[in-house]
Amino acid sequence: MVKHRFPIGIAACALALTLPGVARADEAPVSTAQMQADVRAYYGTELTTGFLFMTYGAVTAGAGGVVLTEPGDFARGLGASSLILGGTTLLGGAAYAIAVKIRGGYYTSLVDTDPARYQREEAERIHGTNQRFWMYLGSELLETVAGIGIATYGFAAKDDLYKGIGVGAALQGIGLFVIDVPGAGRAARYQDEVLRFRPNVSASIGSGTRPWALTLSQSF
């Protein structure tokens, strides 16, 4: 029973992170200046995440190539699975980084030039992203569980090839899951900010005899 509860618990926590909070009426609206800073911070972090995927893929693929030079079925299974899956992660991370660079440039420019249009378009896009995150995390958990299953079979059957393939797949899956979980939470928080963004709200600090005061103004 414990073996079943562990992956279910992980999946439940991951799913909770992907559920964005609903903006409440009593929450302070996000001003244009704050949204401009948040957009740049979000896409900057996402670009770093893309590089992190690339690095993880390159390291595991490189390690797999080195392991393949070693004799034995275990080395052959571990090396081949790490090389193939790591190479796929490397290419996927590169594609993601390029997409983030292009998308980030578009939305950081749009929030400066047309905040209202930015709010409409980005709210729709990030909503779709958050809806898909459970699939990303689920597929990574599935890869991990599949790798553990293959490795378990290998140990039970005393088959070194399956042991190596399973270990390589499990390492790749859990690594991607660990990288993606913070991204799920980050996307949910960003969506909440986009939903609370009011393009016609501006903030200013200090006025007249009260330099410590925070003033929110809204134009109609």
Model confidence at 219: pLDDT above 60 = no
Longest dimension (CA), the chain: 80
pLDDT score for 203: 47
Model confidence at 216: pLDDT above 70 = no
pLDDT score for 201: 53
The set of residues, in sequence order, having a beta carbon less than 8 Å from that of 107 and lying 6+ positions away, is 39, 43, 118, 121, 122
pTM of the model: 0.77
pLDDT score for 114: 94
Model confidence at 42: pLDDT above 70 = yes
C-alpha 5/C-alpha 13 separation (Å) is 12
Tally of CB atoms within 10 A around 75: 18
Q: What is the pLDDT of residues 114-152, one digit of tens each?
A: 999 999 999 999 999 999 999 999 999 999 999 999 999
Q: What is the pLDDT of residues 54-94, one digit of tens each?
A: 999 999 999 999 999 999 999 999 999 999 999 999 999 99
Using CB atoms within 10 Å of the CB of residue 217, give its burial: 0 to 12 exposed, 13 to 18 middle, 19+ buried.
exposed
> Taking a C-beta distance cutoff of 8 angstroms, is the pair 86, 62 a contact?
yes
Q: Which residue has the higher pLDDT, 181 or 8?
A: 181
C-alpha 83/C-alpha 61 separation (Å) is 4
Domain boundaries, the chain: 29-218
Closest CA to 119 of 35, 21, 196, 194: 194
Query: 3-state class of 206 per DSSP?
Result: strand
204 pairs with which residues across the strands?
215
Model confidence at 208: pLDDT above 50 = no
205 pairs with which residues across the strands?
214
> Taking a C-beta distance cutoff of 8 angstroms, is the pair 115, 29 a contact?
no
pLDDT band at 27 (very low <50, low <70, confident <90, very high): confident
Closest CA to 82 of 174, 9, 154, 219: 174
The mean pLDDT value of the chain amounts to 84
